[in-house]
Structure 1
Amino acid sequence: MGDDGLAERIAGLVAMSSGDSRRDTLIRLTCGRALSVPPLPLPADLLDESTEEDRMLAAFAEQFAVDVSGIGDNQRGRFLEVFGNNAFRVVVAVFIADFVPRVWAGCEAVGLGRPGSCDEVAWDDSSDPIGALLNGFAPAVARLRELDPVTTEIVRLRGATQHNCRLCKSLRDGDALDAGGSEDLYTQIERYESAEGLSEAHKAALRYVDALIWSPSAIAPEVADGVRKHFSRKQVWELTLDVMRNACNKIAVSLGADAPRVASGTERYSIGEDGQPVYADIA
């Protein structure tokens, strides 16, 4: 799609590792089964016998994929205890195994193919997937400008509530507010099908968001037709990638690191020229 380089970034993420190829295989198989979609390419074979650590990791990855808000303190604590300083990298590997297949399922449903998919993966055990995802891929998606800011914000807020990210729910994009976004409009997202303030294009986008989050293996033809009707190919590509970028909040939610920066109400922020969020100063 286009020349934004994001398909290549996805391919790069697929090739990266948590630091253990056998662990990566377990994560990818678990996420694929949980979502009923083909898993990412597998870097190694699994042994017939599983360890207690394997079972713990599989349970964590499955809950991450199915509903990240269901990860409780005990499961989180055990995960952090086992993986220690490497926990963040392992969670990022889980996220990649969870969300890239969703992107491919969405892209296939809307006729965009499988951007970033390769017959032979050039495995990369040394590069840092944390930086590649959060400082490379996510900001590059944020710099896309085919979608209008209100649609982008509506999509973001839907993902925030579906993953129950406290930080994301507390934020409001300044460009969207300046372009006509409002709390009255945003409160209609929860029941968008009957919302009078949301356009048919917004509703089509939200149906697609929900499908990617909850049923990527069964995206209804009418959902795919809806986004194709209201959005150009480049906009559908951006919309799909926005869902993945927004879903990076699952990493924070899984680790219990999604606390809002404000005690009440909402906080305005913007996207800087580098694609990273710029927050207002809080006294």
Structure 2
Amino acid sequence: MGQETLAERLAGLVAMSSGNGRLDTVIRLTCGRALCLPPLPPEEDVSDGASDTDAVVAAFAEQFAVDVSRIGDNQRACLMSALGDNAFRTVVAIFIADFVPRVWAGCEALGLGRPGNGSAVSWDHAGDPIDALLNGFVPAVARLRTLDPVTTEVVRLRGAAQHNCRLCRSLREGHALDAGGSEDMYEQIEAYESAADLSEAHKAALRYVDALIWTPSQISAEVAAGMRKHFSEEQAFELTLDVMRNACNKIAVSLGADAPRVADGTERYEVDADGQTVYADIA
């Protein structure tokens, strides 16, 4: 699958709705402000005063964008009470509003433009953003193979730690282990600048990951230059989309659904040729 098709998938995500046009506007404007980035285009204007539901969703979206690991049980309960059965779909809409602008900021910093950012949005009211994101976009990105598996895993584990996803931190990808990844290497990701077992390419990638997660509006020229030095345009695009794919863990973390698969140690899994996760034995 080429860059053009994935750009189309990004455009499709931008066109998706939570099912409530007013809340979509609140979500997109809130995430844009929190990120200090241009928000995704809203379909509706919100000209009257904010409702109680607006306030709950805006607060959740802001914390989701700034630091998802700080969402607590009370904020979670307020969202569930306000949205009921539409809570999960709305959180997926929050994720899209939070992360597509990050992808565009990263791609622009790398000289790749804004993939999927067309002149006009063809709004999709019939489609399901949950299906489009989790069953469409995520496996499509996972099928990309221009990056080596160790770099892909190093990037994944950095995102898992930054979002404090217990599930992701408990997993180890098998192809990366077979290609030379190890616990000794992975333990060095936390302090990667001084890591002996991480390559300069790994360190360049991790600087970029941190920028996308924490300062997407301020990706430095040095960080971008490091990416261009060590990765081709195709690899850099894949790495950027990997950060977004991995960051779907924010959905689980925000809803308190990120319990690890094993109580101790880690579990081996593999991403198969179809981009699907296949779990194996405990490592």
The TM-score range, normalised by the shorter chain, is over 0.9
> 5 Å matches for 1:163-178?
163-178=163-178
Contact 1:65 1:98 survives alignment (8 Å): yes
Deviations 1:20-59 (A, max 9, x none): 1111010000000000000001110002301111111100
Please say if 1:130 is aligned against 2:124: no
**Distance (Å, rounded) in 2 between the aligned partners of 1:136 and 1:60:** 25
- 1:119 to partner: Cα distance: 1.2
- Number of the residue aligned with 1:107: 107
Q: What secondary structure does 2:265 align onto? A: coil
- 1:83 to partner: Cα distance: 1.1
Contact 2:267 2:281 survives alignment (8 Å): no
**Distance (Å, rounded) in 1 between the aligned partners of 2:43 and 2:279:** 39
**Distance (Å, rounded) in 1 between the aligned partners of 2:261 and 2:226:** 36
- 1:218 to partner: Cα distance: 0.3
- Number of the residue aligned with 1:121: 121
Contact 1:2 1:234 survives alignment (8 Å): no
User: Could you tell me the percent identity over the aligned residues?
Assistant: 74
Deviations 1:147-175 (A, max 9, x none): 00000000000000000000000000000
- Number of the residue aligned with 2:190: 190
> 5 Å matches for 1:1-283?
2-3=2-3, 5-280=5-280
Unaligned runs of 5+ in 1: none
Deviations 1:248-269 (A, max 9, x none): 0000000000001111100000
Q: What secondary structure does 1:268 align onto? A: strand
Q: What secondary structure does 1:279 align onto? A: strand
Q: What secondary structure does 1:59 align onto? A: helix
Moved over 6 A (4+): none
- 1:281 to partner: Cα distance: 5.7
- 1:4 to partner: Cα distance: 5.5
Q: What secondary structure does 1:269 align onto? A: strand
- 1:273 to partner: Cα distance: 2.4
Q: What secondary structure does 2:269 align onto? A: strand
Unaligned runs of 5+ in 2: none
- Give the CA RMSD over aligned residues: 1.1
Contact 1:270 1:278 survives alignment (8 Å): yes
Deviations 1:129-158 (A, max 9, x none): 000000000000000000000000000000
Deviations 1:60-102 (A, max 9, x none): 0000000000000000011111111111100000000000000
